């Protein structure tokens, strides 16, 4: 198996980098666009990208603290 694409997470938002290993081209892509590469056996996902893609969306939970 030869790696054709590398996908890495940029660390903020839903911006990822798609790197073409054949010509060195580097593009910013969205999380939705990353999903197009899931089925390709020639795509390598970095650890950061893998964790980001498999994480649940985080939301702020209001405090339930009561001062008695």
pLDDT at position 43: 93
Full pLDDT tens readout for the chain, 68 residues:
689 999 999 988 889 999 999 999 999 999 999 988 887 788 999 999 999 988 877 788 887 776 66
Token reading at 6:
């590398």
Is the CB of residue 46 less than 8 Å from the CB of residue 6? yes
pLDDT at position 40: 78
Q: What are the residue ranges of helices labelled H in the chain?
A: 31-34, 47-54
C-alpha distances out from residue 18 to 21, 48, 61, Å: 9, 13, 33
């Amino acid at each position: 198996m030869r790696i054709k694409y590398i996908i890495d997470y940029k660390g903020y938002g839903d911006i990822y980098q798609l790197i073409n290993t054949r010509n060195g081209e580097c593009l910013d892509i969205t999380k939705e666009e990353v999903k197009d590469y899931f089925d390709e056996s020639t795509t390598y996902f970095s650890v950061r990208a893998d964790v980001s893609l498999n994480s649940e969306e985080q939301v702020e939970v209001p405090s339930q603290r009561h001062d008695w």
